[in-house]
Amino acid sequence: MEKIIDVKIERKESEAILTFGFEEKMSLSLTSDSQDELKDFFIKLLKKIVDNKDIVYKLNFSDDGQTDLFHDVAEKYIKNLDNELASVYVEINKLPR
């Protein structure tokens, strides 16, 4: 089963955060320089994918109509990440059940 996950940009002063529309909110800050935060995000994301093997998540960037750098970068990145996740699903099938 395929499930579309909308990804939006939240802007707060000098911050730009990508929020992923799962049941429980997950976010990735473009303006953070913490490697740990970034790694935690992906561990949480991958765990979700592994625990719900029957669901194939597709990422969809929600365009908020703005034309700043955050928008451009986020759009390109989410597209790339979605492609990358497709290859992740191939590997997941080889994991022990």
Yes or no: say if 7 and 59 are a contact pair by the CB < 8 Å rule: yes
Query: Which residues, numbered 3-32, are part of the site for other proteins (CB under 8 A)?
Result: 14-16, 28-32
**Block residue for tokens 């992906």:** 42
Number of residues that bind other proteins (CB under 8 A): 35
Q: Are the CB atoms for 92 and 53 separated by under 8 Å?
A: yes
Q: Minimum Å distance from CB 12 to other proteins?
A: 11
Q: 31 vs 62, which CB is nearer to other proteins? A: 31
Q: How many CB atoms lie within 10 A of CB 73?
A: 14
Does 1 sit near other proteins (CB under 8 A)? Answer: no
Cα–Cα dist 95/84, whole Å:
18
For position 84 contacting other proteins by CB under 8 A, the verdict is: yes
Is 63 an interacting residue with respect to other proteins (CB under 8 A)? no
Distance CA 7, CA 73 (A): 13
Q: Please give the residue ranges that form the binding site for other proteins (CB under 8 A).
A: 14-16, 28-35, 38-39, 42-43, 45-47, 50, 68-70, 72-73, 76-77, 80-81, 84, 88, 91, 94-97
